Amino acid sequence: MTITIWLSLLLICLLGAMSPGPSLAVVAKHSLSGGRWHGIVCAWAHACGVGCYALLTLLGLAVVLHQSPLLFTCVSYAGAGYLAYLGINALRSKGGVAAKLAQRQSSSLLEAARDGVMISLFNPKLALFFLALF
């Protein structure tokens, strides 16, 4: 591959990473409630999840998701269920992030990493993005 193809691939990935979505909300939540390290751990865990999708795409999973509407639907529902779980927990929390900051409560680094990985692995649009890219 030529250098122009690598640079265009880099530019596309950077633009995709900069676009806001549910992952930005999760990383911001952990950064605000737990501090810098929680945000960094959540962001790196999210990056590892995206890296897993890139690897699986290169190995052919995205083609399988594209060819099997049932599997794609199952992954989509799992992602919707996880987002609903996050939303219900946000609604049930007492006061949200502002109250946690006032009370000095924060989640553990393990919870930040779990949320970062889950938000990327349960996002089937990432698989379609990498399928279209590669």
The answer to whether the CB of 36 falls within 8 A of the CB of 109 is no
**Domain ranges (residues) in the chain:** 22-133
Per-residue pLDDT of the chain (134 residues; tens, 9 = 90+): 688 888 887 888 788 777 788 888 888 888 888 889 999 999 999 999 888 888 877 777 767 777 888 988 888 888 888 888 878 887 887 766 566 666 666 678 899 999 999 988 888 778 777 777 76
Distance (Å, rounded) from C-alpha 70 to C-alpha 121?
17
The answer to whether the CB of 36 falls within 8 A of the CB of 48 is no
Question: Would you tell me how many other CB atoms lie within 10 Å of the CB of residue 61?
Answer: 17
Distance (Å, rounded) from C-alpha 86 to C-alpha 26?
9
pTM of the predicted model, to two decimals?
A: 0.67
Q: Could you please report the per-residue DSSP string of 102-132?
A: HHT----HHHHHHHHHHHHHT-HHHHHHHHH
